[in-house]
Structure 1
Amino acid sequence: MINLIDGLLRMIDKAAEQGTRQAARQYGRRSLLAKTGAALIGGALLPILPFDRTSGSAFAAEGEDETACEYWRYCALDGNLCNTSGGTTTSCPPGSSASKVSWVGTCLNPNDGKDYLVSYNDCCGKASVTGSTFCFTSERERPGYRMGLYNDINWCMANDDKGYHCTVAVLVGLADE
């Protein structure tokens, strides 16, 4: 039995040596180092790439229309929906940028019965699109003197491009009870 295992290990060792020698003949050291470095850096950067964390069933149930003003995430939205204006629910359309200031709403998700903080950012720097869906929902809106809770302001005022285009609704997290 020991001879069988010893023979198997020698075959594996010989195959590995032949593969390494073949690779050394075919590729240079710099090429190997460059590819290894790219793989290491790419692997290290993978966790910071953006991805949609809202795809869980708690956020968008089957059959819900994210392009309708009645969608739960839009409970305090006042403006054009970006997902009907060339963007998505959470990202501005090309050619526009998110406002540097925003307002926050607390919206009840009927799918899980929890309250979520939703940040509403206007997308600025591009003319408004005709045919986009305009929503005016002001659940729990506060008077104008509470600026962070008031949605009737041009929130593009802090950006270089002050033209309003549409509004995104980004989930911030669960609201504290």
Structure 2
Amino acid sequence: MSLAAESRGRISFDEMFISMCHIVAERATCLRNKSGCLIVRDGAIVALGYNGAPKGMAHCSVQGCLCEESAFRADSRQPLPEAHDQDPNLYSCRGVHAIQNALIQAGIEKARGATLYVNQMPCSVCAKLIIQAEIERVVIAGPSNHNAITALLRQAGITVVILEII
């Protein structure tokens, strides 16, 4: 039997790992966003991450979300200018991103040359961390609407795959 015939009806490894990212995201404690990330090397998961409060701190799902306490515009993650004047601590979200958590868990030795899977487009800070960690390939659950992020990753020599799972 040919390899093509054997694989009919089976999902690809990329599809499998992206699907797993969606499951990992269910652990997120953020009230606004559920993100999950896997770092895979030689077919084995070496780290995973989801977004939420830093270790030892109260989760947003328990304490409340700084972003939802009127310091941020309802349609984006951008802080309202007057909120910073009233309380500089409200200017940014306390959450650690899924990619950040996964990269910390993996460390540079396990991340270098690996594939990173994430269920949504990385932010610009996470994209720069991916580059610094020497990740070789990034698979993102699509669709892609952040050409600047994918362009940055590609400029750094990283293979970017946008995977749209129906």
Largest Rg, 1 or 2: 1
Task: Report which of the two has the higher share of strand.
Answer: 1
Q: TM-score, normalised by structure 2?
A: 0.22
Tell me which protein shows more helix as a share of its residues: 2
- RCO higher in 1 or 2 (8 Å CA, sep ≥ 6)? 1
TM-score (ref. length: structure 1):
0.21
